[in-house]
Structure formats: structure tokens, C-alpha cells
Structure 1
Amino acid sequence: MALTATRIGTISLVCVPTVEQDTAIAFYESLGFEKRTDTPFGGGYRWVELYPPVGSTGIALAPPPPGAGEVTPVLTGITLTTDDIDASHAAMKALGVDVDAEVSRMGDPVPPMFWFRDPTGHTLMVVEQP
């Protein structure tokens, strides 16, 4: 693996602030993610990592910093891939996930995509990558 001058090689985790970690864990597991880490740390906090079945980048469901107040839902910028956008969209709808009403099809070079919201209200994207 070639490293940059800063010695950075990969993206391993994307942290998503989450107050209701158990609810979020159940949600991501229902999408096929695997919980690989659930470790207590300082002051009653938990460090939780979930990974999709393919790839090495995970989502950390991290509690907000002390004193941060409520978590504000954000457009995370997290993009998940599927080999069948229509099947993924239908499966998420069947699971009761808050997904866009329709798959967005803008034409080449933009792949078909849709957005969905996790239980905290954070928005993630799914794109077709055959």
C-alpha cells in the first residue's frame, strides 16, 4: 500500500453521533451490518462499531461529547453501495426504513441512488455499483 506524505493509508471508520445506541445498533443490524465492537469507556459511554458485510470501512455509533446537548441530524456524506438499487430500495421500504419515495435516476455518469435516514435522523446514501 502506498502511503501519503502524512502516512495516511485508508479510511477505517466514520463516526456518527448517536444518543440511542441500542436503537441504532438494531437498525444497522437489520440492514445487514455486523457489530464488531461494543466496548464501554469512561463515564458510562460505549464505543460501538458496525461494518457492512463487504469492505473494511465501518460506522462508529459514538455518543456525543459531554455537554454537547442534543444530537442534530446531519447529511453524513456516507455512501453505501449495492449491486441492485431497486432491490435495496424495496427491501429497506419493507423493513420500514425512512427512505426516499423513489430511486433517483439522473443518467450517466451519475449512478442511480436514494437516501435514507437512520433512527437519529442522519441521512446516508445508497448508490448502485454493478
Structure 2
Amino acid sequence: MDIKLELVAVPVTDVDRAKAFYEQVGFHADHDVTVSDDIRFVQLTPPGSACSIAVGRGLTRMAPGSLDNLQVVVKDIEEAHADLRGRGVETTGIEDLPWGSFVYFTDPDGNRWSVQQTTPRTAAARQ
């Protein structure tokens, strides 16, 4: 039996601001539907990902900014870091750990993301 994670709700205060931010990061806006005055559903997908995020009104009871360490994986952390910075996204520098190399950023509400290259740059350089 396959079990696929396909959608993660990200709690935000301002849907339009969040949508613009995630588009700036490079996510594609798949859907933006206002169901009622209480429900708006915006689905955004990172390039190449089978899993999307949803921001909106009436989607979750989580407090805006309460997600910590949502993680995406890239092949080249230096390229990802340069791309994010080129798009105007504030990021940390690249952190090399034994289990990967990482860059971190937060959305306007404080939801924290990590971008991981699973093979640390130090190990990749030795190969």
C-alpha cells in the first residue's frame, strides 16, 4: 500500500502576502479558490515536488507562524542558496552538518523552512 503526503497546511495571517512570498520563493500557484467568506484555499507547489502547501482562511487551527522546520530537498545547496537570494528571499548562510548541508528561511509569519542537500558539501567535495 502506498501512502503519499500530498498537502501540508501552512498557517498564515495574510493570505495574499503569503501567496506572494511563496511565489517569490519559486512555488507555483496551482489553485486560489474562495469557497465562502470563511474559507479561502490557495495551493502552491515547489518546482518538481509531488507535495504542495496550502495557505488560506479556515484551513487549520494552528497559529500563524507555528510551523517549524518544514523541509525541502535540493541537489545543489549552493545553487538553491543563490537562487533564493536572487529572488530577494532572506536566508541564512549555508550550514554544513554530517547529515547534509542546509539553508534556512522563514515566511512573513515566521513559519520556518529548511532547504537540504542530503549529501553534505564536505562529503561531495571528497568524492
TM range (shorter): 0.7 to 0.9
What TM-score results when the alignment is normalised by the length of structure 1? 0.78
**Residue matched to 2:75:** 83
Identity in percent: 27
Residue deviations 1:36-69 (CA, integer Å, cap 9, x gap): 1111123243101001121210000132579x7x
Q: Is the 8 A contact 2:43 2:52 kept in 1?
A: yes
Q: 2:17 aligns with which of 20, 23, 44?
A: 23
Q: Is the 8 A contact 1:18 1:64 kept in 2?
A: no
- Give yes or no for the alignment of 1:40 onto 2:34: yes
**Displacement over 2 Å in runs of 4+:** 42-45, 62-66, 74-77, 93-96
How many residues are treated as equivalent by the alignment? 119
What TM-score results when the alignment is normalised by the length of structure 2? 0.79
After TM superposition, give the deviation of residue 127 of structure 1 in Å.
0.3
**Residue matched to 1:51:** 45
After TM superposition, give the deviation of residue 72 of structure 1 in Å.
4.0
Q: Is the 8 A contact 1:17 1:64 kept in 2?
A: no
**Residue matched to 1:61:** 55
Which protein has the bigger helix share?
2
SS in 1 for 2:96: coil
| Structure 1 segments unaligned to the other structure (5+ residues) | 4-8
| Structure 2 segments unaligned to the other structure (5+ residues) | 120-127
**Residue matched to 1:103:** 94
Residue deviations 1:52-111 (CA, integer Å, cap 9, x gap): 121210000132579x7xx442343321111110121122223332211x111012xx11
Q: Which amino acid aligns with 2:95?
A: S
